[in-house]
C-alpha cells in the first residue's frame, strides 16, 4: 500500500477522564454525502485504541506539508504528541488543530471490526476549510502538491511525456480501456 498516494490526517479525541489521544492516519475517505460520513482506521494495537473504541466524538485534521513532523510524532508510539503542537480544546473538550487544510468534527456513526484495525465511521457535524493545500503520503514519504508555477511546470512535463504504444502516440482509450474522467462534488466539504 506504500505505493498508493493518500493524504495524511491526525485524528484526535479525549477519554472519559479528559485526557487527549490521537494518531496519524492515511486511511481516510468519504463514505456518504447524505448523511455526511467519513471513515478512518486505527490499529487495534495502538496505545490510543481504548480511547477511540469508547469515543462518541473525534476530530479529523487533513494536514499540510508544514505538519510533516507533527504527523510523524502522532505516528510514534509513546511520543508526547500534544506538547507544543498548537492544539486547543473544541467546544466538546476534544483537541482541535487550527491551520490545517480541512478540520472535520465528527460524532460516532459506527465502529466496525476490520481485522487488525477498528474502522471508525464518523458523522461530520462541522467542517473548517484552510487556505493551503494538503500534502500527499507516498512511498513512506510526505510530498507537497505542486501549486502555481510548479503546477504549470508539472502540467507541461506531463504533456511533454506523451505515452507511446509501439512507437506511436497513445490515445486515452489505449492507455485505460473505457477510461472516464470523473469530477467529484463533495458538497459538504
The CATH number that applies at residue 43 is 2.30.110.10
Q: What is the pLDDT of residue 141?
A: 75
Within a domain: 169: no
Residue 24 belongs to a domain: yes
Residue 43 inside a domain? The answer is yes
Q: Is residue 59 part of a domain?
A: yes
Q: The whole model's pTM is what?
A: 0.77
Q: Does residue 56 form part of some domain?
A: yes
pLDDT tens string 148-174: 555 554 455 444 444 445 555 544 444
- For 44-183, list the strands marked E by DSSP: 57-62, 87-89, 95-97, 102-114, 117-129, 135-138, 141-144, 164-165, 168-169
> Within a domain: residue 181?
no
Residue ranges of the chain with per-residue pLDDT less than 50: 153-154, 157-164, 170-186, 188-189
- Nearest Cα neighbor of 81 from 136, 19, 143 is 19
CA-CA-CA-CA torsion sign (147, 40, 82, 68): negative
How many folded domains does the chain comprise? 1
User: Which residue in the block uniquely carries the three cell numbers 512507437?
Assistant: 167
Residue 186, domain member (yes or no): no
Domain that holds residue 87: 9-144
Amino acid at each position: 500500500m506504500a505505493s498508493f498516494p493518500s493524504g495524511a490526517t491526525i485524528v484526535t479525541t479525549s477519554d472519559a477522564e479528559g485526557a487527549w489521544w490521537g494518531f496519524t492516519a492515511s486511511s481516510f475517505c468519504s463514505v456518504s454525502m447524505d448523511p455526511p460520513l467519513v471513515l478512518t482506521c486505527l490499529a487495534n494495537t495502538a496505545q490510543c485504541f481504548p480511547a477511540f473504541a469508547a469515543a462518541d466524538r473525534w476530530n479529523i485534521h487533513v494536514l499540510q506539508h508544514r505538519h510533516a513532523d507533527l504527523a510523524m510524532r502522532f505516528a510514534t508510539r509513546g511520543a508526547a504528541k500534544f506538547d507544543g503542537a498548537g492544539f486547543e480544546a473544541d467546544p466538546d473538550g476534544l483537541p482541535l488543530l487550527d491551520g490545517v487544510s480541512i478540520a472535520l468534527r465528527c460524532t460516532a456513526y459506527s465502529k466496525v471490526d476490520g481485522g487488525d484495525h477498528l474502522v471508525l465511521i464518523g458523522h461530520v457535524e462541522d467542517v473548517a476549510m484552510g487556505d493551503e493545500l494538503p500534502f500527499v503520503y507516498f512511498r513512506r514519504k510526505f510530498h507537497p502538491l505542486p501549486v502555481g508555477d510548479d503546477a504549470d511546470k508539472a502540467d507541461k512535463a506531463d504533456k511533454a511525456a506523451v505515452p507511446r504504444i509501439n512507437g506511436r502516440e497513445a490515445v486515452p482509450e489505449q492507455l485505460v480501456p473505457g477510461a472516464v474522467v470523473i469530477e467529484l462534488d463533495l458538497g459538504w466539504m
